Amino acid sequence: MEVAARFNITVTGNASGQPMLFAHGFGCDQNMWREVAPAFADEYRIVLFDHVGAGGSDLTAYDEERYGSLRGYADDVLLICRELDLQDVVLVGHSVSAMVGVLAAVQEPERFSRLVLVGPSPRYVDDGEYRGGFSREDIDELLDSLDSNYLGWSRLMAPVIMGNPERPELGAELSASFCRTDPEIARRFARVTFLSDNRSDLARVPVPSLVLQCSQDVIAPVAVGRYVADTMPDATLVMLDATGHCPNLSAPRQTIEAIARFLPESRGLRAS
Amino acid sequence: MTGRVVAPDDASPADVPADELYDAAPCGYLSMAPSGTIVRANRTLLQMTGYTTDELVGRRTFAELLTVGGRLYHETHFSPMLHLQGHVREIALELLRRDGRRLPVLVNAQLVRDERGTPLVVRAAVLDASERRAYEQELMAARRRAEESEARARDLVRTLQQVLVPPAPPTVPALDVAGVYRPARHGDEVGGDFYDVFQTAPGTWFVVLGDVCGKGIPAAVVTALLRYAIRDAAVSQPTLPRLLDHVNQAMLRQGADRSATVVVLRLDRVDDAWQVTSCSAGHPLPLLVPAAGGDRQVGLPGTLLGILPETRLHAVELRLAPGDLVVLYTDGVTEGRRGREFYDVDRLRRNVAAPAADAQQVAQRLVDDAVAFQGDTTRDDMAVVALRVTD
């Protein structure tokens, strides 16, 4: 299948601008960026996509082995960059995709000019001195929560998620299907996300990076954000006065301003 | 009890007197500021959680009332969905009560925005779902058990099929032999097709291919019986018709109650050439493709096995030269259908006639083509054995 369809790629903004690639985290899809990405559209070429298994991606492209670690997701990011011939990319990654971005930048540093990591955590589970904020049991409990909530997931929704053009009447329901994922894929993605350990990759990122940290985030606590910024060779930590793990939704203005300040070329943003 | 109408101004609870409809509603009800902090809660919710108003309002966020797994779910799904679509429905969570006990709940929530679209308040209804959760957990457990037992069944089928069909035929001097077996549909059932290649004396080899009527364990039992009865009779019986008649008697004696078709080739190495005897018991006749060109079916039809006490079977002899190819196959290949059309012997002949590097390629290409013809929904299993004289 065409790469564009596999990842449900959306390209908007300034066609001749520097590319800004937004990667969503676990639990939702590219809609996560709808309050933030448009602010950069005048200046940047905005590229949005859904990870395989999420949103409007091609579910049949899901491969247990490829997506058995975050490296598979990082390979996808690089694949998208190659396919669209993106150079000098500003990669904005939320949650687990912050680490996906880190892995991609370690692998092909020449491809990226800057990284923006929104709520990053290189390891969620506590490990010796390191406090990720969760125990292994907590993660198992999350997997149980996923199971209970996907009981209501209907196979009927699958064509919508896959964007089946033969059944346009289902399109109306699309608006009600945010964050819906195939339960089996969601379970695997959750396991890969919350059991990952990318602490050793942080020091190898040669690209200037911004860490956006919410003041109260149960998924990526402040101490973890600080750890990320301290461990990366060239990273700046910016605290956002926001609760929760999704400042891109709950505090879009602050998020936009922090990113804009980090991008030296940015001028005349729509939001400012 | 007085029924006053409550002004929908939850964001400033001090101005709104408590109302019985609200407080004693048959579900927990709470309002949160956009930050998540609880700004109002009804009595039912207090009872569900075991907290007092003072302990909740202005002090705790909704997420803090959840288990850790629930908090993760809240951050990754509940909250994003609420922002993106303005509401969430029937989210299953567990409340962590003040006394440490857990209460399974279902939550519906609505995000209220002001006219400029800025989030004002989130209102949530919380329903006790203890019984539903117990029932769901039983469903989940049942589904896991079903998946496990399905996986075990598949393993068993694969193992059983490997016993019935040799993964790789033995090496025969001056003969390139290959067999391909393909199960029907998803391979979740043992099929009735089988083949076997074995030696009975120096220079004497048998190639057997057969098809037991039906599928599943009962067919597998007969397949196993047949395979060993044939090996036994290949040593004890002097001719192929006697061999197959012997097998027929064994099937009837065992009360197998299931017919089978079998074709047997006996190959004798004589003066640096292969002398071949072929006999078919109700089975599609082998196809001979001489190195010199052309092709023909070898042998005469005979009685199928396992039904009648008397058999009428005929052996034919042929001599194979280097490059000659013989193909044995089951009806799963030729009777594979696309709509009303059969794959048929003509397609088989054309496929087999194409140049091939070795016997493996001949057999595999034929099976692949027959599968593709049927559009990947094969109703019957298939077995093909190809043998080609190498020198």
pLDDT for the residue numbered B326: 97
Give, in order, the Cα–Cα distances in Å from B290 to each of B296, B298, B319, B357. 9, 12, 10, 15
Q: Quick one: CA torsion of A105, A110, A114, A117, rounded to 10 degrees?
A: 0
pLDDT exceeds cutoff 60 at B4: no
ipTM of model = 0.85
Which candidate, B365, B382, B387, places its Cα nearest to that of B318?
A: B387
Closest residue to A250, CB basis, from B34, B61, B77? B34
pTM of the model: 0.66
Q: What is the pLDDT of residue A127?
A: 94
Closest partner CB to B72 (pick from A32, A179, A219) = A219
Strands (E) in A145-226, as ranges, are 209-216
In angstroms, what CA-CA distances link B48 with B28, B41, B210? 7, 11, 68
Cβ contact, residue pair B35, A243, below 8 Å: yes
B292 touches chain A (CB under 8 A): no
pLDDT tens digits, A84-111: 999 999 999 999 999 999 999 999 999 9
| Among the partner residues A27, A151, A243, nearest to B76 by beta-carbon distance | A27
**Res B143: pLDDT:** 81
Band (pLDDT 50/70/90 cuts) for residue A162 is: very low
> pLDDT digit string (tens) for B101-150?
999 999 999 999 999 988 999 999 999 999 988 887 788 788 889 888 88
Read off the pLDDT of each residue in B215-236 and give the average, rounded to a whole number.
91
CA distance linking residue B387 with residue B286, whole number of Å: 11
Query: Per-residue pLDDT averaged across B49-54, rounded?
Result: 96
The residue annotated as part of the active site, out of A57, A95, A113, A266, is A95
Q: Is there a contact between A145 and B70 if contact means CB atoms under 8 Å apart?
A: yes
Residue A24 annotated to the active site: no
Best probe of the A interface among B59, B75, B105, B108, by most A CBs < 10 A, is B75
B196 strand-pairing partners: B208
Active site residue A245: yes
pLDDT at A113 > cutoff 90? yes
Sorting pLDDT into bands at 50, 70 and 90, what band is B14?
A: low
Identity at A145, one-letter amino acid code: S
Report the relative pairing of strands A44-48 and A112-118 from DSSP bridges: unpaired
Q: Cβ of B69 and A143 within 8 Å?
A: yes
Instruction: Give the 3-state secondary structure percentages of chain A, helix then strand then coil, rounded to 5.
Output: 45, 20, 40
| pLDDT reading at A169 higher than 80 | no
Count of CB pairs separated by less than 8 Å, A with B: 96
Is any Cβ of chain A less than 8 angstroms from the Cβ of B8? no
CA–CA distance from A90 to each of A93, B130, B319 (Å)? 10, 48, 74
Q: Nearest CA to A133 among A225, A247, A213?
A: A225
Express each pLDDT in A33-57 by its tens digit: 999 999 999 999 999 999 998 888 8
pLDDT beyond 80 at A148: no
What are the distances in angstroms from CA A228 to CA A97, A121, A148, B130?
Answer: 14, 7, 33, 41
φ, ψ (nearest 5 deg) of residue B69: -60, -40
Residue A85 annotated to the active site: no
Question: Which pLDDT belongs to residue A1?
Answer: 52
- Contact of A253 with chain B, judged by CB distance below 8 Å, is answered with no
Instruction: Please report the pLDDT score of residue A139 as a whole number.
Output: 87
Q: Is the pLDDT of residue B33 over 90?
A: yes
- pLDDT at residue A39, as a whole number: 96
Rounded to the nearest integer, the mean pLDDT of chain A is 86
Identify which has the larger pLDDT, B384 or B76: B384
Within an 8 Å CB–CB cutoff, is residue B78 touching chain A?
A: no
Using the Cβ of A62 and the Cβ atoms of chain B, whether some distance falls under 8 Å is answered with no
What's the CA angle centered on B328, arms B322 and B329, to 5 degrees? 150
Query: How much is the pLDDT for A177?
Result: 54
Q: What is the C-alpha separation between A106 and A205, in angstroms, rounded?
A: 5
pLDDT 10s digits, B54-66: 999 999 999 999 9
DSSP codes joined into one string, B166-189: -SSPPPBTTEEEEEEEE-STTS-S
What's the mean pLDDT when you consider all of chain B?
89
Scan residues 111-170 of A and list those with Cβ closer than 8 Å to B: 134, 138-149, 151-152
Closest chain A C-alpha to B25 CA, distance in angstroms: 25
- Per DSSP, the residues of B114-156 read -TTS-EEEEEEEEEE-HHHHHHHHHHHHHHHHHHHHHHHHHHH
pLDDT above 70: percentage of residues in chain B? 94
With contact defined as beta carbons under 8 Å apart, do B295 and B352 qualify?
A: yes
Nearest CA distance, B321 vs chain A (angstrom):
48
- Report CB contact under 8 Å: A151, B139: yes
Considering only CB atoms, which chain A residues are within 8 Å of B86? none
Tokens 């800057």 belong to residue:
A114
Closest CB from A28, A138, A147 relative to B68: A138
Indicate whether B1 pLDDT > 50: no
Computed on alpha carbons and rounded to an integer, the radius of gyration of chain A in Å comes to 18
Please tell me whether residue A267 adopts helix, strand or coil conformation.
coil
pLDDT of residue B2: 45
List, for residues B54-103, the tens digit of each pLDDT value. Answer: 999 999 999 999 988 888 889 988 999 899 889 998 888 899 999 999 99
Q: Which of A41, A147, A49, A141 is nearest to A94 (CA)?
A: A49
Structure letter (DSSP) for residue A176: T
Q: Flag if A138 and B83 touch (Cβ within 8 Å).
A: no
pLDDT on residue B189: 78
Q: What's the rounded mean pLDDT across residues B245-270?
A: 93
User: What does the alpha-carbon distance between residue B277 and residue B380 come to, in Å, rounded to a whole number?
Assistant: 29
Residue A164: the pLDDT is 39
pLDDT over 80 at A161, yes or no: no
A153-158 contacts at long range (C-beta below 8 A, 24 or more positions apart): A153/A180, A153/A182, A153/A183, A158/A59, A158/A182
**What 3-state DSSP class applies to A152?**
coil
